[in-house]
Amino acid sequence: MKKRKTPESQRPADNPNVLGLKGETTEQAITDTLEQNYMPYAMSVIVSRAIPEIDGFKPSHRKLLYTMYKMGLLNGPRTKSANIVGQTMKLNPHGDAAIYETMVRLSEGNQALLTPFVDSKGNFGKIYSRDMSYAASRYTEAKLSKICEAVFGDIDRDSVDFMDNYDGTMKEPTLLPTAFPNVLVSANSGIAVGMASQICGFQFNEVCNAAIALLRDGEADLLSLMPGPDFPTGGEILYDREAMEQVYNTGRGSITVRAKWRYLPKENLIEITEIPYTTTCEAILDKVADLIKAGKVKEINDMRDETDLSGLKLAIELKRGADPAQLMRKLFRSTPLQDNFACNFNILIAGYPRVMGVKEILDEWIAWRTECVRRKLYHELSEKKDRLHLLLGLESILLDIDRAIEIIRNTELEDEVVPNLMSGFGIDELQAEYIAEIRLRNINREYILKRTSERDNLEQEIARLEETLGNRRKLRNVLIDELTRLNKRFPMQRRTMIVYTDELPEEEDDEPVRDDPCTVFLSRGGYFKKILPQSLRMSSEQKYKEGDSLLRSFESATSHDLLVFTNRQQCWILRLGEMENTKASLLGTHLPSWLGMDDGETICDIADAGDYSGNLLLAYANGKLAKVPLESYRTKTKRRKLTGACSDTSELVRVLPMKNDTDIFCITDDGRGLLIHSSLLLVKQARDTRGVQVLTLRKSRLRDIRFADMPQQAEGTEETDGMQEAPAQVSADHVVLSEPGRYRARSIPRSPVQLKAEDGGEEQISLL
């Protein structure tokens, strides 16, 4: 069967309408397209959807809660969730499914928040279960919880700005005037375009106490008042003060959380009652099942989910003779029963995203809340002044009520009543209108005396408000009183217990790791391979992604730990025994993802810690070297990450482990070198030491350091002869120098010397 040929007039190249194009097409630079089309979209996602603001809410949360408030659900009875969803669509046009999912997460039944804002009835699912889905909106009921009184208490007093909704038919608040730091109390996460936010929740009363302390003393120690986050699912925080300080100071970092368990000896059973906030029951069960199938866990007879109305419960039935503590240590290392919460406190401040520490967030909240209180007090002051103004007008007719009645009775036209009262008593239009609206039954001396008796109270209140508005200290006292009342009204218990890692016993490996030789490969893109010798002999040609290349490779052993240094001055401890063996023909494991690195964190270098004997040499771009004992990087509790692993004063360019002092050759990016002996460097115990200035650099920077090997000398010759039997060569960690004396520095700092071609010229430097 022959194919029919398409007429040329109908081909896409000749007929633009076939492609859906009309008229002429114009070329546009990709940068212009991004600026005109993509950037507005990106900013909309960042500002109007994914990143929370200082009140702790995203726009979707705010629209839902404000709709419920306007529906009278703060003090009224519950209503069907479908009614709430329908009403919310007047403010949020993104569909009923998205609105209901927002309500589910804010509900008390879902248990996703420490302070739920929705008082729910019915099945709203559970945050700790992947498969326990929530019921449809037509079956569930909801209203606002009591804590919302602290959210909406000032909203009708001009404390926040309002804006038009999407179709301009009604107004909605730009922020909700939360009387407590909800931005730190309620956990929040969101992924925008090019940035994300991940905020863990803190205990309500601890946050309020911390805010009170900051209001009284700007240098208060927050870590003593709120020692760590509090998660709705409970569990235990493995407290590392150094890591916690990083989170509090920078808003970034990682917090280790593990499950809470107990052993029942009569049933030979382990019960897990609380799990990390970042995982689910099903994920834990699946991982344990995989370990049992792989033969890595042999102590378990059965594991089942016994969660019921009383709460979460995972039961692990042990085999006879199994050690429960040893099994749990193994499960903590290999399953989500112990997990890390990656913090990224990214918050919108005045429309701009900012990553802030805890103190900075509280300072911003205090400044914003102070302005809310100022606006509320000014609104109250205006109302009281208006009321006083009306009472002064009423007082003016107190002694001559009959005259006021006579003026009204003798006025022929209704529109002339107010002007006649104004001229008769010397009052303004507002006062005259107020007097004219008084009912006939209230025109008696008793009524007027009661109204005018308010004058003294109003004048005292006005004076108090004016004094408060003019005194910053008294304004802050208003905030302190609010937070103190909330603390007393909503006492809450901490759900996540804190376990100090220094008090934990040092963990021992349950099963010794085999000490097999292997070769490690790390690419510049962060892909890692552990290859055994037999596999490497079969195929040694390494595969990389397009544009990627080798960064480091060295021989090691499967029992060793590797130290992975990043641009955030952090060191991730990679245990080779936990990494799978791979082949040269595969890309390998992407380390930043596998280790759970923070956004924007990249690998600088990697070193073999071995048995943690000897020292680690750290080289910085500014020409400084630091010699730190490898023992300083050993952890007692199998931690995966160390903060403050190196200095932050300059870029880390290389790390080299060394057992004994030896010659070190430093290479700069402008083709110069300097040879020193490592004994010139004193050992510093602090990991973040700035090091010792070795090279005097002006416009260049240190690019690499290597162990220096001397050439094999002919018998009877000296080093200064320049004679050598082996040619100069460069390897990953070593360089052979033809004339060591040319580069030798007896004291430091010294200026580097121009490299000879055979000692690491441009061609050899390109091997870096």
**In this model, does residue 509 exceed pLDDT 60?**
no
| Residue 3 pLDDT | 44
Long-range contacts of 761-765 (CB under 8 A, 24+ apart): 761/671, 762/671, 764/729, 764/730, 765/667, 765/671, 765/703, 765/704, 765/730
The fold adopted by the segment(s) 365-488 is Topoisomerase; domain 3 (1.10.268)
Specify whether the CB–CB gap between 691 and 625 falls below 8 A.
yes
The answer to whether the Cα torsion of 326, 330, 336, 341 is positive or negative is positive
- Tens digits of per-residue pLDDT, 92-114? 888 899 999 999 999 999 999 99
Number of other residues whose CB lies within 10 A of the CB of residue 152: 20
pLDDT of residue 727: 37
**Cα(162)–Cα(160) distance, integer angstroms:** 7
Q: What is the rounded distance in angstroms from the CA atom of residue 104 to the CA atom of residue 111?
A: 9
Q: What is the pLDDT of residues 391-403, one digit of tens each?
A: 888 877 776 778 8
State the number of CA atoms in the 13 A half-sphere of 540 facing the CB. Answer: 6
For residue 414, the one-letter residue type is E
Q: Which two tokens stand for residue 684?
A: 């510093």
pTM: 0.72
pLDDT of residue 129: 93
Measured between alpha carbons, how far is 589 from 574 in angstroms, rounded to an integer?
12
What average pLDDT does the segment 194-210 reach?
Answer: 94
Percent above pLDDT 70 for the chain: 90
pLDDT at 31 over 90: no
- Token pair recorded at residue 565: 């240094």
- What's the pLDDT score for residue 370? 96
* CATH number for region 260-336: 3.30.1360.40
| Residues noted as catalytic | 139
**Rg of the chain, C-alpha, whole Å:** 36
- The stretch 332-345 carries a mean pLDDT of 92
In CATH terms, the superfamily for domain 51-178 is Topoisomerase II, domain 5 (3.90.199.10)
Q: Give alpha helix (H) positions in 167-301.
A: 182-185, 204-216, 222-225, 241-250, 281-293
What is the pLDDT averaged over residues 241-268? Answer: 92
Question: Is residue 365 over pLDDT 90?
Answer: yes
Residue 512's pLDDT is 64
Q: Minimal CA–CA distance to 42: which of 191, 206, 229? A: 191
pLDDT (0 to 100) of residue 505: 60
Ramachandran quadrant class, 529 (left: phi over 0; alpha: psi -120 to 50; beta: rest):
beta
CA dist., res. 574 & res. 597, Å (int) = 12
- What does the alpha-carbon distance between residue 655 and residue 617 come to, in Å, rounded to a whole number? 6
pLDDT at res. 624: 92
Q: In the chain, which residues fall in CATH 1.10.268.10?
A: 365-488
Quick check: 673 and 688 in contact, CB under 8 A? no
Portions of the chain given CATH number 3.90.199.10: 51-178
Can you read off the two tokens belonging to residue 680? 């010139």
Predicted confidence band of residue 410 (pLDDT cuts 50, 70, 90): confident
Q: Which residue is associated with the tokens 């006579």?
A: 406
Q: What is the mean pLDDT of residues 54-70?
A: 95
Q: How would residue 319 be classed by pLDDT, with cut points 50, 70 and 90?
A: very high
* pLDDT of 14 over the 70 cut: no
